[in-house]
Chains A and B, each alone.
Chain A
Amino acid sequence: MRELGLDHEVFDAAATHADLAERIAQSESLDALLSESGGLDPTAFDPSWPTGDTE
């Protein structure tokens, strides 16, 4: 954390690591969703649907 400039006394390294572990586990839970669509381009999100979309 110090290398990232996060060296203030309020930072609790143990609590941060515990939180990160939980977030990584959440991230890994997404593998089930992405197993069939892992190649989706994650960038340039556009909410529009394709014109004439029939699926």
Chain B
Amino acid sequence: MTDIGEAGRSLRSGRTTSREFTEASLAAAAALDGDLAAFVVLDPDGALEAADAADEAIAAGRDLGPLMGVPVAIKDIVDVAGLPTRCGSSAYPATPAATDATLVRRLRRGGAVIVGKTTTHELACGVYSPPVSNPWDLDRIPGGSSGGSGAAVAAGIVPMAVGSDTGGSIRIPASLCGTVGLKATYGRVSRAGVAALAWSLDHLGPLTSTVEGAAASLEVLAGPDPLDPSASSRPVPQYSSGLDRGVEGLRIGVLSGPPLDPVQPDVAETFAASADLLGRQGAAMVGVEVPELEHGLAAEFGIVAPEAGAYHRDLVRSRPDRIDPGIRTLLVAGLTLAPEHYFKALQARRAIADALRRVFIRNRLDALVTPTLPATAAPKDADDLWFGDSAEPVTLAYVRTTGPFNLSGLPALSVPAGFDRNGLPIGLQVAAAPFDEEMVLRVGACFEAAAGIRARRPPTNSSGAAGARVERGDPAPTG
């Protein structure tokens, strides 16, 4: 499957049809999903009907937007009318959702073709997403909780899949699977019709094969929504229009210190090379530290536990035996801890958000870069990641670099940056000021182009795919 930009150009020029794209997507899912388990349900009839409608619109000269006629997939915590929302849990009923989530309505209105729903880690609360496999190494995790979305895009089954992100659940699978992943500012994409993990930290966004695809997707997904009081009423810019502006004259912070200690050596090398590459494109790279981020994990889980416990309280009481023991422990903690701990975590969240704001303003930063994650994809059976002689639980290691941008609500993008010595993808994270998604996309697009990111695809992929992939096999990008 080609990327969104190329798909749009091909459809509008008449070189291909949405039906052909959709049939290719469904065929790729049929061929690959036995290995990947990226999908929990496919909807071939609904997809082909939508594809034919898109083809009719194109033939009639109507343009519904950048996703018109493009096959997409939806994480299985988002309501799609006619399909069940199981949230990766046997405790959730298989009855179909009656209505679409707001973001699904936006996609349909924009002519997108929904081919199916992707596997999520149970209750969107984890980074393993079993039984999904990473297309780069089937014995390794795809990340999570939007693991099915990451695997589906990386394998070229669809050029865009929707994910959710409470502590990194878009950016973690994006980094581990070698795709682009965009968590926009809190409130930029409506959460109405989406199962919550933690209301005040939950974000929705796209995983895509290119930065251009992420920009196009956000144009469709973003916007105000009376059904979600947290949804911003700010106008939605045309994100795709500024992607070629480069980084000349920008000031970009390069984070060191907490929460980046420790990181795997190949990740450190790739991050340093990535920052150097942005500098050579004309940006002023400014070293910064945010010591307050040392407390990010305590604040993150201090909020997730009580909010998730409250959201799932009926499930915990009525069917606790249907919940994974580790998740059940978190939910029970959320229901039993004294409120003071929750409010303290919320205060800490505000302190961390203020610290990030001060670093941006003091240093006159336009953007901030970090490694998306301190490590590449863990083996499926690993409890810990190893950094030299020290072990760290897989979940904590991944969330410590992504979670700060959930706490602050800032937009954050993961873009492929290179590979480790085992050929596993490494991501670069780009963050910016609130609602400045144009900046993270602009920096990401410049980096993507300069790093020579092209069509290196994972071993498990759709034949004939042309989605963008990092071509190099060594740890560092060139430019």
Contacts and interface: CB of A to CB of B under 8 A. Distances in A.
Main secondary structure of the interface of A (DSSP, over half): loop
Contact of A24 (B297, B341, B349, B350): B341
Contact of B347 (A6, A23, A40): A40
Contact of B200 (A34, A37, A45): A45
B336 A26 contact: no
Interface in A9-54: 10-11, 15-16, 19-20, 23-24, 26-27, 29-34, 37-38, 40-43, 45, 47-49, 53-54
A11 B332 CA distance: 9
B346 A42 contact: yes
Given A45-B409, A48-B435, 15 more contacts: A4-B335, A6-B320, A8-B321, A15-B329, A16-B332, A19-B332, A26-B298, A26-B301, A29-B298, A34-B344, A42-B347, A45-B186, A47-B185, A47-B408, A49-B357
Nearest to A26: B298
Contact of A23 (B316, B337, B362, B410): B337
Most A-side CB within 10 Å, residue of B186, B347, B354, B410: B347
Nearest to A3: B336
B365 interface: no
Interface of B: 185-187, 200, 292, 295, 297-299, 301-302, 305, 316-317, 320-321, 325, 328-329, 332-333, 335-337, 341, 343-354, 357-358, 361-362, 408-410, 433-435
A40 to B, nearest CB: 5
A42 B352 CA distance: 12
Interface of A: 1, 4-6, 8, 10-11, 15-16, 19-20, 23-24, 26-27, 29-34, 37-38, 40-43, 45, 47-49, 53-55
Q: Which 5 A-B pairs have the closest CB atoms?
A: A47-B409, A42-B346, A27-B341, A26-B298, A5-B317
A6 B410 contact: no
Contacts of A49: 357, 433-434
Given A6-B332, A33-B292, A48 B317 contact: no
B320 A10 contact: yes
Contact of A30 (B295, B316, B337, B358): B295
A43 B41 CA distance: 39
B347 A47 contact: no
A21 B302 CA distance: 13
Contact of A8 (B320, B353, B408, B435): B320
A55 B361 contact: yes
A48 B434 contact: yes
26 contacts: A6-B320, A6-B332, A6-B336, A8-B320, A10-B320, A16-B329, A16-B332, A16-B333, A19-B329, A20-B337, A24-B337, A30-B347, A33-B292, A33-B348, A33-B352, A34-B344, A34-B347, A38-B347, A45-B200, A45-B350, A47-B187, A47-B353, A47-B408, A48-B435, A54-B361, A55-B358
A49 B353 CA distance: 10
Contacts of A38: 347
B339 to A, nearest CB: 11
Contacts of B409: 45, 47
A27 B344 CA distance: 7
A30 B299 contact: yes
Nearest to A36: B351
Nearest to B343: A42
B270 to A, nearest CB: 29
Nearest to B297: A26
